């Protein structure tokens, strides 16, 4: 229970990785189809969106459902890895900007790199028995 609560890669297996990869890849592909409407939604002007023929409620609902599907799939296999989920999009927006064609894939890549670097540094620095990712993922914030 503690391992799932904090998040860990200790129980990862290739079946879980494969299933997660398929769902995240398909969800990411669908999100990429909505890059232009998401860029328009970033203006926060629903009247202008409707005049352009974009239904903002529909786009927000689809984007939200895809995000929930991908996030819940990842969390079901790794546990709560909230720190990377909070910092990666902000770092990506600062580096890349607001264009969702580049922002969405870069956020995923940056989150994966941050998590792997934190995990590796944690394994090097903390070499006691149970290696909990909760401590390792907080290293970039220190």
Number of residues written out for the chain: 142
Q: What is the pTM of this model?
A: 0.77
CB 136 within 8 A of CB 118: yes
Say if residue 89 is exposed, middle or buried (CB neighbours under 10 Å; 0-12, 13-18, 19+). middle
pLDDT per residue as tens, the chain (142 positions): 555 555 666 677 888 889 999 999 999 999 999 999 999 999 889 999 999 999 999 999 999 999 999 988 888 877 776 566 778 999 999 999 999 999 999 998 998 898 888 777 767 776 654 455 555 555 555 5
Considering only CA atoms, which of 21, 13, 55 is closest in space to residue 37? 55
CB 39 within 8 A of CB 98: yes
Per-residue pLDDT, 97 = 93
């Amino acid at each position: 229970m503690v391992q799932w609560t904090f998040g860990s890669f200790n129980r990862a297996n290739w079946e879980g990785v494969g299933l997660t990869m398929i769902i995240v890849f398909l969800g990411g592909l669908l999100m990429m189809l909505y890059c232009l409407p998401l860029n328009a939604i970033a203006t926060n002007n629903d009247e202008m969106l409707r005049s352009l023929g974009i239904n903002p409620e529909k786009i927000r609902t689809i984007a939200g459902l895809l995000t929930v599907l991908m996030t819940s799939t990842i969390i079901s296999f790794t546990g709560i890895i909230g720190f990377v989920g909070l910092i990666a999009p902000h770092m990506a927006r600062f580096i890349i900007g607001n264009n969702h064609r580049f922002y969405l894939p870069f956020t995923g890549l940056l989150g994966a790199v941050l998590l792997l670097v934190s995990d590796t540094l944690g394994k090097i620095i903390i070499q006691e028995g149970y290696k909990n990712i909760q401590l390792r993922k907080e290293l970039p914030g220190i």
